[in-house]
Structure formats: structure tokens, C-alpha cells
Amino acid sequence: MAIWKLRKRDEMQTGTVVGPDERLNWFTMSGLGVQHVVAMFGATFLVPLITGFPVTTTLFFSGLGTLIFLLITGNRLPSYLGSSFAFISPVLASSSGGDFSKALFGIMLTGMLLAVVGVVVHLAGAAWIDALMPPVMTGTIVMLIGFNLAGAAWMSSSQSVPLDANGACIPDKVTGCQITTTITGGFAAAPLTGWITVFAIVLIAVLFKGLIGRLSILLGVVVGYFAALAQHQVTFDAVNEAAWIGLPTFTMPTADFNVAALFLPVVLVLIAENVGHVKSVALMTGKNYDKTMGRALLADGVATTIAGFGGGSGTTTYAENIGVMAATKVYSTALYWIAGIVAILLSFIPKFGAAIFTIPAGVIGAAGTVLYGMIGLLGARIWVENKVAFTNPVNLIPAAVGLIMGIANFTFTIGDMTFGGVTVGTVTALVLYHLMKAIGKARGTDLEEPAITTDFDTYQPAAEELR
């Protein structure tokens, strides 16, 4: 377990780097640690707002997961574990009527599988991951996960009027049975508020640099919130009723292996983003974390498993916090101990969680519109940065087919198991790619691609910015 060496004021110069095993005075470290909490707020809170998970519970497991991560990695790797957006699609698909116990089971299974991958990587190295998921496939998976959520950002649908067991109209609901009702949420619930939020996010992102620019989504949500207040779209009844001090709401998962397939693609995304994060931290600190890669995957897997067991959202390492480290040049793991403890303490304030849930649907839908699009385009960034050649049909066809299946939400049922668009698109893309690759090599028809490096010494998937 690494310890922190105190860097004194007279040792500091402009641009001085504070390493993972170093620290400044505790007063300064406390302020910087709270800054890391603020940096993760925007993304971490959006997941429970979209999925319906309790905010305080999600915050609790986020802080706890961060501490677990630090312990398993030997206090050597500075990282914060926040809510992963990769879980949103399968969680929404496996939850109904406010019951997300089956989704928790899927989150728990995802964490277990990721932990197993971490053990394998620790023992055998990470080269096999690159062989399974080259940049063309990593980009495709990230893109289809983001774009598959497009409908959730708008959230408008028609529903037939309720009928009783005999097929008759339920009394006091409607007159006649030819009527359908429209369910709205997200952007569709308040388009004006949604547009205000979107433009606020855009303006903040281009007007400001540094931490403020990085918090554009969070600050845009704040602007949208005030716009909703002005239109009387916010109610505070739940806040008034909530206690100041109380335990987070813990929920046990319900075993249902039918949901397992929905969460399988998430494992691939978590692998890609964890690897990207580790390599990013290595570049910033000048340290070689290759031997820590397996521990990082194991730690995230354990944290996600525990979160799923208790009612929290799945976790992943956060690019926002890596960005804060890059801006401050303070890479001390002490910051993340502080951030994790502060997050846990905030989770015991129910009024805080209730206040977060007062954010209206129009604001959340607008933030999701920006966020889901950004997630999708991160996939394109992976392609560009790794110079993926789409002149080669081995790259083009699997990516094209997988994307359409994911975006259109192709759904297939085999027995009691239902496979949604993300799963179908991911599996199809991977199978087609490796099948076409094998046939092309056997027949000598596989086109030569530009010489690029995709080994894990230099390859940094842009998925590192995906939660």
C-alpha cells in the first residue's frame, strides 16, 4: 500500500506535479478533493435521474466503489468510480413500473464478469483484449450504445386505454374504447425548457475553459432548472417531506438470467474505458500501470457487483476526474479518498437526494439529448484516432450491420430470453467481423490496412470519456 509523501510549500514551483504517492497539506487536499466530487456530480446524478434509481444510494455506492478501487489497486492508481452510462439502456429495458430489482441482478452479473476479466488480464496480460475488440469494434459498440438511447431522450409514446380482464373499458377511465393516451417524458414533456437547457450546455462549453467548460452539462442543467422554475414545472413536496439525515435506500436484486444478455455488451464497454483511463493516467503521471491494468478491471468489477447487490448503479472510472487532474497536475490518490468519503457522507442526506429528483423531465431529456449523442460520436472518434479503414469490407459491413441493429433496436426472443438492440448489434458485429476476418485470411481476400498501432502501450480508446 503506497503512502503519501508530504510536498512542502517551499518545494513547489509553477507547474510542479504532485504524484500519486504524494500530497499537499490536508487543507489544500480537502479543497481539491471536494472539487473532484463536484466534477463527477453532473454525470453520476444523470444516471439515477434517467433510470429512476435512488440518488443517495447511487452516490453511496459511487463513493464506496472509489474506496474499494483504491484498496484493490494498492492505492497506486488515482481514479474515481462514478455511474456508467453504458448501463442506461439495459437498465431501462429490464425495469418496469419502478421495479428495477431485475436490472440490479444484471448489474451484479456484469460486475462479476468484469472481475473475472480483471483476474485473467492480471495473470495473462491484456493483449487478447485488443485482438477481440480492435478499434473498429470498440468504436461500433460505443456508438450503438449511445444512439440506441435516442428514443429515451425524447420519450413520447402512445398507450391504449386500460381494459379489464373481460376486455371491457375500466370504469371512470374513458368513455368508449377507441381512445389512446400519449405518455410524454424527457424532452417531449417540456420542449421550451429542453431547448433552453441544450443551448445553455452549448454556450457554456464554448465560452469557458478548464473546469467550468468540463461541467457544461451540469451547469446547463442548472440553467434549465431555473427556466423550469420560472414556468412552474418544479414541485418541492418531496423535498419538504424528506429528512435531513437518513440511510440510503438499499434494494436487493431479483435473480432473472433472462436479463443477462442485455448487459453483456456493457462488459465490453467497461473494459475499453477502463483500459483507456489507465493509459491516460499513465501518460499524465509518467508511470507504467500495465501491471495494474488487471487490478483496475477487478476493482471496477467488484465495485459494480456490490452496487448491484445493494441497489446502486454500475460504476466505471471517470474521465471528468482525470480532466481535473490534468488541469491541476495533482495526481495524489489522497484526493480520491477524500472524494469517496465526502460522497458517502452526502448519501446520508435524504433531502439532498430529493432535491436532485426535483429536476423536471424536460431538463433531463435535454441533457440526455446532448449526452447520448456525445456517447455515440465517441465511437466515431475511436475510428478516426485509430485510422480505421472503411474501404475494407471486413471493417465496413460488420460495423454497418451492428449499428443499424442497435439504433433500430432489433429485438429477438429465443425461448424465455429476449435480446435487445444493443446486445443483438454488439454480438452480430463481433461475429461478422471475426468471421469475415478469418475467411478473408484463408482466401487471401483480406485487404491490407494502413499500418497503425493498436497495442495497449499506445492505444487509448476514446471510450475513456464514456461512463
pLDDT band at 4 (very low <50, low <70, confident <90, very high): confident
Q: Does the reported pTM lie above 0.85?
A: no
Distance CA 436, CA 136 (A): 14
Rounding to the nearest 10 degrees, give the CA dihedral for residues 375, 378, 383, 385: -170
pLDDT at 82: 86
- Mean per-residue pLDDT for 150-165? 57
Distances (CA, A) of 148 to 86, 182, 402, 425: 11, 22, 11, 10
pLDDT at 5 over 90: no
Residue 304 has pLDDT above 80, yes or no: yes
The yes-or-no verdict on residue 463 having pLDDT over 60 is: no
Does the pLDDT value for residue 112 go beyond 60? yes
Average pLDDT over residues 23-35: 80
pLDDT at 452: 41
> Higher confidence at residue 81 or residue 211?
81
Q: Specify the higher pLDDT residue, 221 or 296.
A: 296
Higher pLDDT, 321 or 251: 251
**Mean pLDDT value across residues 105-120:** 94
Q: ∠ CA(345), CA(8), CA(21), 5° rounding?
A: 60
Query: Given this model, what pLDDT does residue 111 score?
Result: 95
Higher pLDDT, 153 or 137: 137
Q: Where residue 39 falls among pLDDT bands split at 50, 70, 90?
A: low
pLDDT, position 47? 80
In the predicted structure, residue 374 carries a pLDDT above the cut 80: no
- pLDDT at residue 28, rounded to an integer: 79
pLDDT at 159: 42
Per-residue confidence band for 442, with pLDDT thresholds at 50, 70 and 90? confident
- Residue, of 117 and 155, whose pLDDT is higher: 117
Which pLDDT score is estimated for 10?
52
pLDDT of residue 385: 81
pLDDT of 215: 65
- Share the mean pLDDT of the chain: 79
* φ, ψ at 333 (rounded to 5°): -70, -15
Residue 175 — very low, low, confident or very high, per pLDDT cuts 50/70/90? very low
Residue 118: pLDDT band (50, 70, 90) is very high
The residue extents of the domains of the chain are 20-161+178-444
Give the model confidence (pLDDT) of 184-199 as tens digits: 567 888 889 999 999 9
Instruction: Read off the pLDDT of residues 225-247 as tens digits, 9 standing for 90 and up.
Output: 899 999 988 888 878 887 888 88
Tell me whether strands 81-83 and 156-160 are parallel, antiparallel or unpaired.
unpaired
